[in-house]
């Protein structure tokens, strides 16, 4: 080989050798990177061995298969005792997913809450909206709405109501309660018992049931007897004693009135609805005013003339300053009895003549049934929005029934009906009532991620979100997930198994890459060794050629 050719070959070998050494160094760096990856994968695997998850062990048998999820906590079942397990934030507000938040918003519940016990109307609206967003079915919503709204569920009680509420008119309500109502009896309601309160001779009439001097005696008087009857109490008073006797209807019959008000409130307050409670309060207050003789009456004047019994307008005289004290002149007892039923409050009868052989000839009377009907009318008026919006009214200026529009068969009352409800229906209704009550009182926030199991558990474990559960005293309390005896933190075996499978797969990939790199580096080492040998050989040839050239010229 000539000198020039040897030098060219030497340069080629040098370049190739440098390239091989560069490739070998690059492969070496790749192996170092793979080594770092292997370290990271190993650390991740080691960390996964400590990975935990939250499970719900309702039966207490250390079952680790049931993960804690938002759906489990917010869906009625035996697992949560048919009481919602609520997710709450640090301020105590209820955390709702997208569907629940939409239902609360559509039902008109502000995010800051209502701050008070809501009404049946809003509760039913909430159930309807749960059906709209698909949490429950429309059939289920109607079924739950038929169960009495448990207004105190989760607020001191966890007892479930198993009664349905139906709407009935007055007559149907009376018929139902006469058969099914467990009403407290006033006892004996008769002229004798009332005379013990007021003194003097008296009779008790029930519409046109009795004639002559007979009187009615109700030995087991119920509120239904008062409402359905026309019970008129007439008592004889002496000259100059009219006002004191009329006042006795207000003061001395207190036991009767208090019993009647209590029974009416029990009959009407079947749902705990705030509107109904308000209507009962107003009805009682307004009815008491009908009985307040001293508040409205400042005296009366005798009629002119002989006052003999007539039924024309001139025979009736009511002074302008008497709001609930009507005064009649010249009526015999039968006409007086009929006339009494046309008024509310105290009525004065001044009978001129001897048709009723009692002397003195003056009588005070009151229609007890009219007082009860006035109460029901005030109740209906309030429920329909007040006097401005309702056709029902009690004319407390004239106190005349004919000038009033008393409760009739068109007004519908809520009536409790015992029907042996399907257990699930009652339990599920109570579940959503408890949830609804907490949302209304505590307020709510929307979080679209709580349906994600991993996210929810991470928020619980990191202390960002809390769990609120119903205690034995029937109230909800907020706490860490560990305060719930059914929630357990256990090793996440599934996650560990997945991590191990990932580790083995990644390790195998790295090992395979290392083997390829090792083979390539071995080949490069062989090539570099070969190039080095050839480099030395050619370099030796070049040296000998140069040496021969110098010797030739030296000769």
- Residue 285: how many CB atoms within 10 A of its CB? 10
Question: Quick check: helix, strand or coil at residue 352?
Answer: coil
DSSP secondary structure letters along 94-131 = EEE-HHHHHHHHHTT--TT--SS---HHHHHHHHHHHH
Band the pLDDT of 327: cuts 50, 70, 90. very low
pLDDT at residue 419 is higher than 70: no
Distances (CA, A) of 81 to 14, 72, 78, 159, 470: 83, 11, 5, 12, 10
| Mean pLDDT value across residues 49-58 | 76
CA distance 237 to 191: 14
Higher pLDDT, 205 or 512: 512
Express each pLDDT in 18-37 by its tens digit. Answer: 888 888 888 888 888 888 88
CA distance 252 to 197: 5
Q: What is the mean pLDDT of the chain?
A: 77
CA distance 148 to 177: 17
Give CA angle at 294 (296, 380), nearest 5°: 60
Q: Global pTM?
A: 0.48
Express each pLDDT in 247-302 by its tens digit. Answer: 666 667 888 889 999 989 888 887 666 788 889 999 999 998 888 754 433 333 23
pLDDT at residue 93 is higher than 90: yes
3-state helix, strand, coil in the chain (%, to 5): 50, 15, 35
Higher pLDDT, 136 or 421: 136
Distances (CA, A) of 468 to 67, 69, 117, 315, 460: 18, 14, 19, 73, 12
């Amino acid at each position: 080989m000539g000198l020039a050719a040897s030098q060219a070959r030497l340069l080629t070998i040098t370049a190739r050798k440098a390239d091989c050494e560069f490739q070998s160094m690059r492969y070496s760096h790749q192996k170092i990177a793979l080594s770092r990856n292997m370290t990271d994968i190993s650390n991740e695997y080691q960390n996964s061995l400590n990975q935990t998850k939250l499970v719900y062990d309702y039966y207490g048998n250390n079952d680790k298969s049931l993960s804690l999820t938002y759906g489990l906590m917010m869906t009625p079942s035996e697992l949560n005792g048919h009481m919602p397990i609520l997710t709450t934030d640090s301020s105590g507000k209820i955390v709702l997913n997208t569907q629940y938040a939409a239902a609360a918003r559509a039902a008109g519940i502000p995010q800051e809450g209502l701050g008070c016990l809501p009404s049946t109307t809003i509760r039913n609206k909430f159930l309807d909206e749960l059906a709209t967003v698909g949490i429950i079915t429309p059939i289920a919503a109607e079924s739950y709405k038929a169960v009495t709204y448990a207004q105190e569920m989760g607020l001191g009680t966890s007892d479930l109501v198993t009664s349905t509420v139906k709407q009935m008119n007055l007559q149907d309500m009376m018929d139902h309660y006469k058969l099914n109502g467990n009403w407290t009896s006033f006892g004996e309601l008769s002229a004798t018992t009332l005379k013990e309160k007021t003194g003097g001779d008296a009779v008790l009439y029930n519409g046109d049931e009795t004639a002559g001097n007979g009187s009615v005696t109700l030995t087991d008087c119920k509120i239904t007897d008062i409402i359905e009857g026309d019970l008129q109490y007439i008592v004889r008073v002496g000259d100059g004693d009219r006002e004191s006797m009329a006042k006795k209807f207000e003061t001395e019959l207190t036991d009767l009135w208090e019993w009647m008000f209590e029974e009416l409130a029990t009959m009407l307050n079947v749902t705990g609805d705030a509107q109904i409670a308000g209507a009962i309060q107003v009805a009682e207050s307004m009815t008491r005013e009908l009985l307040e003789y001293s508040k409205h009456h400042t005296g009366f004047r005798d009629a002119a003339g002989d006052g003999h019994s007539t039924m024309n307008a001139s025979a009736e005289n009511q002074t302008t300053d008497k709001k609930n004290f009507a005064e009649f002149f010249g009526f015999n007892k039968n006409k007086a009895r009929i006339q009494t039923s046309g008024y509310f409050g105290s009525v004065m009868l001044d009978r001129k003549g001897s048709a009723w052989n009692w002397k003195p000839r003056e009588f005070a009377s009151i229609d007890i049934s009219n007082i009860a009907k006035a109460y029901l009318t005030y109740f209906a008026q309030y429920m329909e929005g007040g006097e401005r919006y309702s056709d029902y009214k009690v004319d407390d200026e004239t106190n005349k029934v004919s000038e009033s529009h008393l409760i009739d068969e068109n007004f519908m009352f809520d009536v409790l009906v015992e029907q042996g409800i399907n257990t699930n229906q009652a339990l599920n209704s109570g579940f959503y009532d408890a949830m609804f009550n907490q949302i209304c009182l505590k307020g709510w926030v929307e979080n679209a991620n709580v349906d994600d199991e991993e996210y929810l558990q991470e928020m619980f474990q990191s202390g960002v979100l809390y769990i609120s559960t119903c205690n034995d005293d029937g109230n909800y309390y907020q706490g860490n997930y560990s305060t719930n005896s059914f929630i357990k933190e256990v090793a996440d075996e599934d996650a560990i198994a997945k991590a191990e499978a990932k580790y083995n797969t990644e390790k195998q990939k790295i090992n395979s890459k290392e083997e390829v790199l090792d083979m390539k580096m071995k080949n490069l080492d062989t090539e570099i060794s070969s190039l080095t040998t050839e480099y030395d050989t050619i370099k030796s040839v070049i040296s000998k050629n140069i040496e021969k050239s110098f010797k030739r010229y030296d000769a």
